[in-house]
């Protein structure tokens, strides 16, 4: 029965190779998702900074007006 053993080993190797290929493909997808998340986070932080700057300018303008 050596050929049966050989076939089962071959099947295990093929299955392992398929799983490894799928895992490698998944890594790039995960990396792409992470990159998209970082880009979204950067966009959110820039928008927040812009809002905070606008509020700061409004407060300064209000203080100048009160002194004025």
Cα gap 2→8, rounded to integer Å: 10
Cα gap 40→51, rounded to integer Å: 17
Q: What is the pTM of this model?
A: 0.53
In tens, the pLDDT along 35-66 reads 999 999 999 999 999 999 999 999 999 998 88
Q: Which residue has the higher pLDDT, 67 or 55?
A: 55
Question: Cα dihedral sign for 37, 39, 45, 48?
Answer: negative
Cα gap 30→26, rounded to integer Å: 6
C-alpha 17 chain-centroid distance:
27
Cα gap 26→68, rounded to integer Å: 63
In tens, the pLDDT along 8-44 reads 887 877 877 777 776 666 667 888 999 999 999 999 9
**What band does 7 get if pLDDT is binned at 50, 70 and 90?**
confident
């Amino acid at each position: 029965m050596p050929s049966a053993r050989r076939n089962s080993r071959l099947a295990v190797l093929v299955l392992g190779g398929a799983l490894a290929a799928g895992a490698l493909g998944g890594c790039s997808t995960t990396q792409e998702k992470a990159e998209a998340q970082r880009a979204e986070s950067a966009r959110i932080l820039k928008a927040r900074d812009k809002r905070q700057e606008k509020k700061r300018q409004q407060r300064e303008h209000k203080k100048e007006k009160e002194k004025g």
